[in-house]
A and B are shown apart, each in its own frame.
Chain A
Amino acid sequence: MDRFEYIEARLFEGENYLKREKNVKIYDGDDKTQYVDGEVVLTTHRILWGKPGDIPKGLTCLSLPLYYVFCLEEESGGVFGLGGPKRIILHLGPALPGKRPGPAVVSPYHFVKFSFKDGIDPLFYKALSDAVNAKAWERSTPLTSPSSESAVTSSRPPVAPVNSKIRSGIVGIERSIEEQHRATDESISVAFQDLRKLMEKAKEMVSISKTISAKIREKQGDISEDDTVRFKSYLMSLGIDDPVTRDTFRSDSDYYVGLAQQISDMMVAVLMDCGGIMSLADVWCRVNRARGLELISPEDLLNACKLLQTIGAPMSLRKFPSGACVLQLNSQRDEEVARSTSQLREENGTLTPVKLSQLANVSVLLARERLFTTERLGLACRDESIEGLAFYPNLFLTKA
């Protein structure tokens, strides 16, 4: 079952419709599957299975490429052999790497059965075995672009069918993989001839690049051993679709408002992930990486961040006494901080900056500042001793 792929029911180039059957059930080896009462379409390259009516509409169906099939047989009917054979057993070669996702990732079986409610039509069986033997897929290159395909066919004399017929199962598979690689190589080199070509084929190239990097990741963990390259590729993958640019706004202030909105949208999730606070230099780097080639200057970022509060964003700019600028979520605002800190204090009896820093996983400096904030809002009292600074509950609030 792991050889099946999900795919829209459309014929590839060079693929031809052969035969159709109704009321067909699929078995994964000897096990029943959920795929019952379906419709089967046999083509020169594949067997398609879909719910009745799905295949003619071009909806998603299951597809089993015939190059997996290396032999087929009819299973004899019930105990008494009544009604003739009802099932065809297809013995399959190993699942190829790089196949599309299908209904099963692994299967313990190396064969599947198609069960025909109304018995096997001898014509269907014959068409199937002819198609498997004809190996139509060895004569076409699946991934080539129209332009390069015509070049290939014209430059290369048609392969003698006799020649390709001799090739059996695995050699055929290997050859088809090789062809696929060659075709991909070719389409890459065509696409990168000049910018116009690349733009035309951009969609295809994006998907090729993703396949390549997915394959490489699968094999060696990541596309590069360089920390920076990995981080870069991560940052860029969080791209902004339509970066705000100065040209689209009439005035600078409108531009900054638009920019602030975009920054806020983009940074909310990031800030939540990293504790609600981030230095402005980090923000600048991330925002620009997401924007791609439309860089903004540090000044623009600063100006936009100053407006965050006025547009009601869930974050704001903050300057520490040391002079460092950060972007922080509003949950880090004084009242919130005091509330959460005094709650932690209640749970622990007393709090020192050191202890809070460990509890909240923030720096000691920030922890101390949070305690000062809490104190200023009357939710804690300090005790300064030789052992350092500690904070106790403010009993004036509760006991007075």
Chain B
Amino acid sequence: MRRRAGVGAIQKQKLEQEKYREKGSEIQENQFQQMSKQLEVFRENLEEFATKHKNEIKKNAQFRRQFQEMCAAIGVDPLASGKGFWSVLGIGDFYYELGVQIVEVCLATNYKNGGLITLDELRSRLVAARGRAKKHQDITNEDLLAAVKKLRIFGNGFTVINIGKGKWLVQSVPGELNLDQTLVLQKANTLGTAWISSSILTGDLGWNETRAQNALNYMVKEGLAWIDTQDSTETLYWFPSMFAECVSA
């Protein structure tokens, strides 16, 4: 076969290439669907194996590592013990596993909730990430509370607050590591007003009411903010540290 020449040949070649590209993306799309299917199969199987064969997997060091690698790649949680007879007595891994998963949910979400999460939300997130099996759905708020209790020896960096009516709030970031107040001050600084209100925080920073109020109350307590109730709509919080700057500006 000799090479063809001329404009016609070039156009033909272009057309051909176009077709190849189309075909290529079609093949890719197809492949993606296949891969998604295989991902599902992997997930189901890994979840099942994690539940059924935990002890055998634990025993074999090399395989344990490989199993973990697979779980990490697919996003399956290898910690899936059921609440057995012994866990009632606080023996066994069930509550430790839950504990790890609880802290994990808090860590994964604290970029948007500042380390405050309701127990109900925590539970639904935890259950969803744990797996699809029926027994994971049976984890109750009481189980979570029992698991959190084991973290008490870390001091009060990780606490559960009762907010009444059977509702609980989990606080995962200790005050010393909480950057919310810094964010509040930054916000006031950019507004250039030396004061801020809860509605500004919820509106502009996307915080929920509890988080905003928590941060503000804390700052009042620490003497960083002063309360002003003269505004008819809501309470304002003034920052004396910014007075001078505002006057001179």
Chain B residue with Cβ nearest A293? B58
Residues of A within 8 A of B21 (CB): 94
A167 at the binding interface (Cβ < 8 Å): no
Min CB gap B186→A, angstroms:
7
Contact B66 A365 (CB under 8 A): no
Bound Cα distance A241, B107 (Å): 24
Q: Which of A225-270 contact B (CB under 8 A)?
A: 226-237, 239, 241-242
Q: Is A7's CB within 8 Å of the partner chain B?
A: no
B222:A365 contact, CB within 8 angstroms: yes
User: What's the nearest-Cβ distance from chain A to residue B49, in Å?
Assistant: 7
Does B172 have its Cβ within 8 Å of any Cβ on chain A? Answer: yes
Q: Which residues of A contact B223 (CB under 8 A)?
A: 388
Segment among B134-142, B146-154, B197-205 that sits at the interface with chain A: B146-154
User: A23-59 CB contact bits vs B (8 Å, 1 = yes)?
Assistant: 0000000000000000000000000000000000000
Nearest-CB residue, chain B, relative to A234 = B72
Smallest Cβ distance from A176 to chain B, in angstroms? 11
Q: Is A282 an interface residue (CB 8 A)?
A: yes
Main secondary structure, interface of B, reads helix
B109 at the interface (CB under 8 A from A): yes
Residues A354 and B244 in contact in the complex (CB < 8 Å), given A209-B69, A324-B174: no
Q: Name the one of B70, B154, B222 contacting A302, with C-beta atoms under 8 angstroms.
A: B154
Is B224 an interface position by the 8 A CB rule? Answer: yes
Q: Tell me the bound Cα distance from A359 to B244 in angstroms.
A: 19
Q: For A285, give its contact among B27, B62, B107, B155 (CB under 8 Å).
A: B107
Contact with A along B90-121 (1 / 0, CB 8 A): 00010011011001110111000000000000
Distance to closest chain A CB from B12 (angstroms)? 13
Distance of A242 Cα from B62 Cα, bound (Å)? 9
Judge whether B63 and A202 touch: CB under 8 Å. Answer: yes
Chain B neighbourhood of A326, CB < 8 A = 157, 174, 176-177
Place the interface of chain A in its size category: 35 or more
Q: Which of B148-173 contact A (CB under 8 A)?
A: 150-151, 153-158, 172-173
B241 contacts the other chain (CB 8 A): yes
Among residues of B, the one whose C-beta sits closest to the C-beta of A301 is B154
Measured CA separation A295–B172 after assembly (Å)? 20
User: In the assembled complex, which residues on chain B have CB atoms less than 8 Å from the CB atom of A73?
Assistant: 1-3
**A228/B49 in contact, CB under 8 A:** no
Out of B74, B99, B104, B243, which one reaches A228, CB within 8 Å?
A: B104
Distance, CA A231 to CA B104, complexed state (A): 8
* A288:B69 contact, CB within 8 angstroms: no
Q: Is the CB–CB distance between B174 and A295 below 8 Å? A: no
Selected from B23, B61, B172, B173, the residue in CB contact (under 8 A) with A170 is B23
Within 8 Å CB of A362, what residues of B? 177, 179, 182
A65 to chain B, nearest CB (A): 15
State whether the Cβ of A6 lies closer than 8 Å to any Cβ in chain B: no
Question: At the interface, yes or no: A364 with Cβ under 8 Å from chain B?
Answer: yes
Chain B: minimal CB distance from A357 (Å) = 5
A-chain residues with CB within 8 Å of residue B97 when the two chains form the complex: 295
B185: chain A residues within 8 A (beta carbon)? 354, 357-358, 364
Q: Knowing A289-B100, A323-B155 are in contact, say whether A213-B150 is a contact too (CB < 8 A).
A: no
| Residues of A close to B42: CB separation below 8 A | 188, 208-209, 212
Q: A228-B126, A294-B58, A324-B156 are in contact. Are A284 and B100 (CB under 8 A)?
A: yes
Residue of B31, B71, B186, B244 touching A358 (CB-CB under 8 A): B186
- Interface pair A206/B66, CB less than 8 Å apart: yes
Q: Are A232 and B129 in contact (CB under 8 A)?
A: yes
Q: Which A residues are in CB contact (< 8 Å) with B107?
A: 231, 282, 285
Give residues 182-234 of A contacting B (CB, 8 Å). 184-185, 188-189, 192, 195, 198-199, 202-203, 205-206, 208-210, 212-213, 215-216, 219, 223-224, 226-234
Answer whether residue A97 sits at the interface, using C-beta atoms and an 8 A cutoff: yes
Which residues of B42-60 are within 8 A (CB) of A?
42, 45, 49, 53-54, 56-58, 60
Contact with B along A345-356 (1 / 0, CB 8 A): 000000011100
A195 touches B39 (CB 8 A): no
Q: Contacts A202-B63, A302-B154: A284 and B1 contacting too (C-beta < 8 A)?
A: no
Minimum CB–CB distance for B2 against chain A, Å: 7
- Report how far A365 CA is from B224 CA in the complex, Å: 11
**Smallest distance from the beta carbon of A253 to chain B beta carbons, Å?**
19
Q: How far is the CB of B216 from chain A (nearest CB, A)?
A: 13
| Partner of B176 from A188, A237, A366 at Cβ < 8 Å | A366
The answer for the CA separation of A131 and B238 in the assembled complex, in Å, is: 82
Complex contact A325–B154 (CB within 8 A): yes
- Stretch from B75-83, B206-214, B228-236 that touches the partner: B75-83
Closest-by-CB residue of B relative to A238 is B72
- A275-306 CB contact bits vs B (8 Å, 1 = yes)? 00111111011001100111101110010000
Do A292 and B179 touch (CB < 8 A)? no
CB-defined A-B contacts under 8 Å, sample of 27: A73-B1, A94-B20, A94-B23, A170-B20, A174-B27, A189-B41, A199-B63, A205-B70, A206-B73, A208-B38, A209-B73, A210-B69, A212-B35, A212-B73, A215-B35, A223-B39, A227-B109, A232-B104, A236-B78, A237-B73, A289-B100, A293-B54, A322-B174, A354-B224, A354-B241, A358-B182, A364-B224
Known: A181-B31, A280-B154, A281-B158. 20 other contacts (CB 8 A): A72-B1, A97-B27, A170-B20, A209-B73, A213-B73, A227-B109, A228-B108, A231-B104, A235-B104, A236-B72, A241-B65, A285-B103, A285-B104, A293-B68, A297-B150, A326-B177, A363-B178, A365-B178, A365-B222, A388-B224
